Amino acid sequence: MSKKIVILTGAGISAESGIPTFRDSGGLWENEPVQLVATPEGFESDPERVINFYNKRREALKNAEPNAAHHALVQLEEKFGDDFLLITQNVDDLHQRAGNKRVIAMHGELLKVRCLGSQEHVFHCTEDQPEKCPECGAKMRPHIVWFGEIPFEMDRIQKALAKCDLFAYIGTSGAVYPAAGFRQLAKLSGAHVVCLNLEEISGGYTDEFIKGKASEVVPKWVEEV
Ligand code: OAD
């Protein structure tokens, strides 16, 4: 039987591509109160502030390129094919641009917007968010999962975690559920659990900690898998 691998990535994997993380010093949540820009309530009370926040992040993404850690995960996917799944909490498109195909963007995608009238009206968007839905004229919102909303594709994620032999979480602080609980689900299903990060993450359910910058430790680790 072949080995099944699930990877979870967070903001740390894109840090060296120039995209700020959330909770490190100088991180996004230091400058923008999370409850104002990343909750449905924040959007309801000040939609312009929220739309501007994501417009700016979309603009900044144009100057970012995938780094060695993103590229290494493409090699891992090429090696393992359908036995590989990459779950990312990141809303940037750096995994997809590097070439990963089996990706679940559980917290949504910065380069998509959707209409408030229909879940099916989702559009690719590389510039500022359009004011009205091109299909039905309703108001639009970023295609981002905010606090208090259910992440995308949880069914598929849970099934993959229950079946995996190796689970690695990379560049994530483990502060936000449900993603923070994935290592527990994988460990209890019998997987070997590896953490690659600048800092050790407390809370257990980790067999191996590999300390270092993602661009350095991920390519080395991928060679060994
Ligand atoms: P955080 O900002 O909470 O954590 C980033 C982690 O990456 C920290 O543990 C850092 O030590 C580590 N790190 C920083 N630079 C690194 C590097 N070069 N190499 C390796 N590790 C590095 O970001 P996330 O855990 O991704 O959700 O945050 C999870 C969610 O919280 C985000 O998806 C977002 C946020 O609120 C939503 O917006 C819904």
CA 21 remoteness from chain centre: 11
142: tokens are 């970023």
Strand runs (DSSP E) across 21-180, as ranges? 84-88, 103-105, 108-115, 122-124, 140-144, 166-170
Distance CA 90, CA 69 (A): 14
Lowest mean pLDDT across 27-41, 82-96, 123-137, 204-218: 27-41
172: exposed, middle or buried (C-beta count within 10 Å: 0-12, 13-18, 19+)? buried
Check if 107 is active-site: yes
Whole-number Å distance, alpha carbon 131 to ligand 1 midpoint, is 30
pLDDT digits (tens, 9 = 90+) for 90-100: 999 999 999 99
How high is the pLDDT of residue 1? Answer: 56
Q: Among candidates 10, 7, 39, which has minimal Cα distance to 23?
A: 10
Whole-number Å distance, alpha carbon 21 to ligand 1 midpoint, is 5
21, 42, 154 from 26: Cα distances, Å: 8, 22, 31
The residue whose CA is least distant from atom 14 of ligand 1 is 12
pLDDT digits (tens, 9 = 90+) for 23-41: 887 788 778 889 999 999 9
pTM value is: 0.96
Whether residue 42 has its Cβ less than 6 Å from ligand 1: no
35: tokens are 């409850």
Atom from ligand 1 closest to the CA of residue 22:
2
CA angle, 217 then 9 then 113, to 5°: 140
Atom from ligand 1 closest to the CA of residue 174:
25
Average pLDDT score over residue span 82-97? 98
How high is the pLDDT of residue 98? Answer: 98
Whether residue 172 has its Cβ less than 6 Å from ligand 1: yes
Name residues whose C-beta falls within 8 Å of residue 95's C-beta, 6 or more positions apart in sequence: 9, 66, 70, 73, 86, 88, 103
* pLDDT over 60 at 141, yes or no: yes
Q: How many helices (H) and strands (E) does the chain have?
A: 10, 9
198, 204, 208 from 85: Cα distances, Å: 23, 23, 20
Average pLDDT score over residue span 155-160? 98
Whether residue 107 has its Cβ less than 6 Å from ligand 1: yes
Whether residue 21 has its Cβ less than 6 Å from ligand 1: yes
Q: Which residue out of 107, 121, 124, 192 is catalytically annotated?
A: 107
Name residues whose C-beta falls within 8 Å of residue 214's C-beta, 6 or more positions apart in sequence: 12, 13, 15, 16, 67, 69, 170, 171, 196
* pLDDT over 70 at 50, yes or no: yes
Distance CA 163, CA 165 (A): 7
Whether residue 199 has its Cβ less than 6 Å from ligand 1: yes
Burial per residue of 81-91, b for 16 or more beta-carbon CB atoms within 10 angstroms, e otherwise = eebbbbbbbbb
Q: What is the DSSP letter of 180?
A: G
Q: Among candidates 41, 7, 27, 6, which has minimal Cα distance to 162?
A: 6
